[in-house]
Amino acid sequence: MPWETRKGKKYYYRTVKRGGRVWREYWGCGPDARLAAALDAEERQRRAGMAAAFRDERVRAVAADAAAALFAGLVMDLLRAELVAAGYHQHARGHWRRRHGRDEQ
């Protein structure tokens, strides 16, 4: 935690990352420390809200992708059924071709 108790007194430290290293900034125990602690708490709360919003958006995107994949599968099944009914076949799981030697309808 940022607040540390030493010899019965609380001191505020802020942890920051600079140049790939983690540093601890000393803010003391006065009004500057309380202000820094309040600002840091507000920033943590803002970031937590943004993270929750991102998670919610990701859940909605996954659900939309699943619905789109289901719809695409249904469309492909319908298309396959129509092509087979029209006398086509899928050659080697590739292009659709008209069957030869069949009576034209």
pLDDT in tens, 44-85: 999 999 999 999 999 999 999 999 999 999 999 999 999 999
Evaluate whether residue 71 is within a structural domain: yes
Task: Give yes or no for residue 105 having a pLDDT over 80.
Answer: no
Where in the sequence is the domain holding 8, given as residue range(s)? 3-92
Evaluate whether residue 99 is within a structural domain: no
Evaluate whether residue 97 is within a structural domain: no
Evaluate whether residue 82 is within a structural domain: yes
Looking at the DSSP bridge assignments, the partners of residue 14 are 25
pTM: 0.59
What is the distance between the alpha carbons of residues 48 and 26, in angstroms, rounded to a whole number? 24
Evaluate whether residue 27 is within a structural domain: yes
Burial of 36 (0-12, 13-18, 19+ CB in 10 A): middle
At 1, the pLDDT band (50, 70, 90 cuts) reads: low
Evaluate whether residue 102 is within a structural domain: no
* pLDDT value of residue 5: 87
Evaluate whether residue 86 is within a structural domain: yes
- Residues contacting 2, CB < 8 A, separation 6+: 12, 13, 14, 15, 37, 40
Q: How many domains does the chain have?
A: 1
